[in-house]
Amino acid sequence: MTAASSADPGALYPDHLAALCRHADEALARGGFDHLLVPSGSLHYQLYDDRDYPYAVNPQFKYWLPLTRLPDSWLVYTPGRKPTLIYHQPFDYWHVVPQAPGGWWLEHFDVHVIRTPEQALPLLPGPAARCAILGEAQSALGEYIPNNPEAVVQYLEYRRSYKTPYELALMRQAQRLAVRGHRAAEAAFRDGAGEFDIHMAYCAAVGQDANDLPYGNIVGLNEHAAVLHYMDRDTSAPAQSRSFLIDAGASACGYASDITRTHARDRGGEFQAMIDAVDAVQQALGRAVRAGTDYKRLHLDAHLALMGVLKDFGVLRVSPEAALETGVSAAFFPHGLGHPIGLQVHDVAGFAADDRGGRIERPPGHPYLRMTRVLEPGMVVTIEPGIYFIDMLLEQVRRKGHGDSIDWDRVETFRPCGGIRIEDEVLCTDAEPENLTRPAFAEAA
Ligand code: GLY
Ligand code: MN
Ligand code: MN
């Protein structure tokens, strides 16, 4: 285990909290407010039903506290004062309620335990008009209605681009958890399991399910690997499992990992060779995550490198540059190279030109890119190039008159395997980039 990976989040937390207080001071000054209020959010119910959706904590709340299952609670911050946590611990014999407050964060807060959501009201600072309240509409309590002031939100979201050592420690933990699942999932695939059972093997190894995972697992065998967000899970195994794409992460105190691997049944076959080629492209792009590099440029470089792979495998008949120019490359690689990640799997501020709400647009023709910024130290981004054989998109290539760019017999060779994606998280530093994912696999091996 490396020094970085064994770092104790608790020891790093005071500095993280101090940074947050400074950010909140600046955000409140910009917005002209006296207090920052962040409700943790509340349960959402299904229509005409008493079933709740999995609770998702307000990301602005878990920025402050490693508490992801504490609905109807409030973070209160006033510059110069110790932050307050209004901690909702209801009397309830139907459900498990949050435990009494405790943990590495406790000494840094004034904590008030409440038993009903309304008991928060007299504890909130006034007047309400002087409060920046960051949350969803249904968190409103009396006059305390979330106003999400633009200046405050923009500033705090922008700051989230630069991870503190505490955040990086938790993100490394999220990598290690997900890697356990990926290893169990690959073993299940090699044993011939179907998608549902592979998914269950993943969840069991990670110890997380829909309530905790940062996003729904993508577990696709064969042609299903060509559906970018394949969320169905066949309960029976196919007669023959040729290929397996798994895009699955884990959470650590609310921080996400987002990892994709693709496997071939036949380790000596052409599809495995193509996986290896995409893997090499992915690693090269990861090494290019350097301060001063424009992520938009990396995305276009990914197109060229992936088209180089398709050329080498005889799928593409034109140059990578020509394929990028005509839009043929987007038929094989129809998503963005990646996105910022942190408290949210698709984290905020990927388009931010500055901390006041300016926006950097995507390059024309690349509507799904989620990160358009120049990389800076402290940013964590995913690098997730892919090649897919998607009937709908290939048909569009033909219709647009570019059918000659492609060797269709070669497409037929790879189509039964669906597609390939390889995804890691990479930290931009002021020197070499740090791949957060690969060491977790190496440690586990
Ligand atoms: N798992 C969703 C994504 O890779 O962005
Ligand atoms: Mn991703
Ligand atoms: Mn992913």
**What percent of the chain clears pLDDT 70, i.e. is strictly above it?**
99
> Which of 182, 202, 213, 215 to mutate for ligand 1's pocket (most ligand atoms within 8 Å of CB)?
215
Beta bridge partners of 421: 386
Let me know whether 169 and 218 are in one domain: yes
pLDDT digits (tens, 9 = 90+) for 271-286: 999 999 999 999 999 9
Q: What mean pLDDT, rounded, does the chain reach? A: 97
Let me know whether 79 and 186 are in one domain: no
Nearest CA among 349, 431, 410 for reference residue 157: 349
Residue 5 pLDDT grade (very low, low, confident, very high; cuts 50, 70, 90): very low
CB-based pocket (< 6 A), ligand 1? 215, 247, 258, 384, 423
Using the predicted structure, report yes or no on whether residue 210 has a pLDDT greater than 90.
no
Using the predicted structure, report yes or no on whether residue 238 has a pLDDT greater than 60.
yes
Q: From the CA of 141, how far away is ligand 2's center (Å)?
A: 36
Tell me if residue 247 falls in helix, strand or coil. strand
The number of the ligand 1 atom at minimal distance from the alpha carbon of 247 is 1
Residue 246, in any domain of the structure: yes
Q: Classify burial at 159, counting beta carbons within 10 Å of its beta carbon; exposed 0-12, middle 13-18, buried 19 or more.
A: buried
Let me know whether 431 and 413 are in one domain: yes
Range of the domain at 359: 165-444
- Give ion ligand 2 contacts, CB < 5 A: 258, 382
Using the predicted structure, report yes or no on whether residue 293 has a pLDDT greater than 70.
yes
Q: For the residues 344-369, what does the mean pLDDT come to?
A: 97
CATH number at residue 385: 3.90.230.10
- Number of Cβ within 10 Å of residue 206's Cβ equals 26
The number of the ligand 1 atom at minimal distance from the alpha carbon of 423 is 4
The number of the ligand 1 atom at minimal distance from the alpha carbon of 249 is 1
What's residue 2's pLDDT? Answer: 45
Let me know whether 134 and 263 are in one domain: no
Let me know whether 151 and 101 are in one domain: yes
Residue 7 pLDDT grade (very low, low, confident, very high; cuts 50, 70, 90): confident
Residues 6 or more apart from 194 whose CB is under 8 A from it? 221, 233, 234, 235, 236, 237, 238
Q: For the residues 234-253, what does the mean pLDDT come to?
A: 97
Among 159, 190, 205, the domain-final residue is 159
Let me know whether 131 and 100 are in one domain: yes
The number of the ligand 1 atom at minimal distance from the alpha carbon of 215 is 1
Residue 3, in any domain of the structure: no
Q: For the residues 149-153, what does the mean pLDDT come to?
A: 98
- Give the number of C-alpha atoms closer than 13 A to the C-alpha of residue 345, restricted to the C-beta side: 19
Let me know whether 215 and 302 are in one domain: yes
Q: From the CA of 384, how far away is ligand 1's center (Å)?
A: 8
CATH number at residue 69: 3.40.350.10
> Which of 382, 422, 437 to mutate for ligand 1's pocket (most ligand atoms within 8 Å of CB)?
382
pLDDT digits (tens, 9 = 90+) for 28-69: 999 999 999 999 999 999 999 999 999 999 999 999 999 999
Q: From the CA of 214, how far away is ligand 1's center (Å)?
A: 10
Q: From the CA of 266, how far away is ligand 1's center (Å)?
A: 26
Q: From the CA of 247, how far away is ligand 1's center (Å)?
A: 7
pLDDT digits (tens, 9 = 90+) for 375-402: 999 999 999 999 999 999 999 999 999 9
Rounded to whole angstroms, the Cα distance separating 22 from 155 reads 11
User: Are 20 and 171 within 8 A, CB to CB?
Assistant: no
The number of the ligand 1 atom at minimal distance from the alpha carbon of 248 is 1
User: Are 397 and 405 within 8 A, CB to CB?
Assistant: yes
Q: From the CA of 437, how far away is ligand 1's center (Å)?
A: 14
Q: Which two tokens stand for residue 163?
A: 């991870």
Q: Which ligand is nearest to the CA of 382?
A: 2
**pTM of the prediction?**
0.97
Residue 4, in any domain of the structure: no
> Which of 217, 245, 247, 251 to mutate for ligand 1's pocket (most ligand atoms within 8 Å of CB)?
247
Let me know whether 140 and 23 are in one domain: yes
- Give the number of C-alpha atoms closer than 13 A to the C-alpha of residue 200, restricted to the C-beta side: 8
Let me know whether 69 and 217 are in one domain: no
Let me know whether 193 and 303 are in one domain: yes
Let me know whether 376 and 277 are in one domain: yes
What's residue 67's pLDDT? Answer: 98
Q: C-alpha angle with apex 99: 93 to 101, nearest 5 degrees?
A: 140
Using the predicted structure, report yes or no on whether residue 6 has a pLDDT greater than 80.
no
The number of the ligand 1 atom at minimal distance from the alpha carbon of 421 is 4
Among 138, 159, 180, the domain-final residue is 159
Q: From the CA of 333, how far away is ligand 3's center (Å)?
A: 14
> Which of 231, 258, 424 to mutate for ligand 1's pocket (most ligand atoms within 8 Å of CB)?
258
What's residue 351's pLDDT? Answer: 98
Q: From the CA of 84, how far away is ligand 2's center (Å)?
A: 34
Ligand 1: residue whose CA is nearest its atom 4: 258
Let me know whether 241 and 135 are in one domain: no
Q: From the CA of 259, how far away is ligand 1's center (Å)?
A: 8
Sole residue written with tokens 């996400």: 256
Residue 161 pLDDT grade (very low, low, confident, very high; cuts 50, 70, 90): very high
Among 137, 159, 181, the domain-final residue is 159
Residue 413, in any domain of the structure: yes
Question: How many domains would you assign to the chain?
Answer: 2
Q: For the residues 337-360, what does the mean pLDDT come to?
A: 97
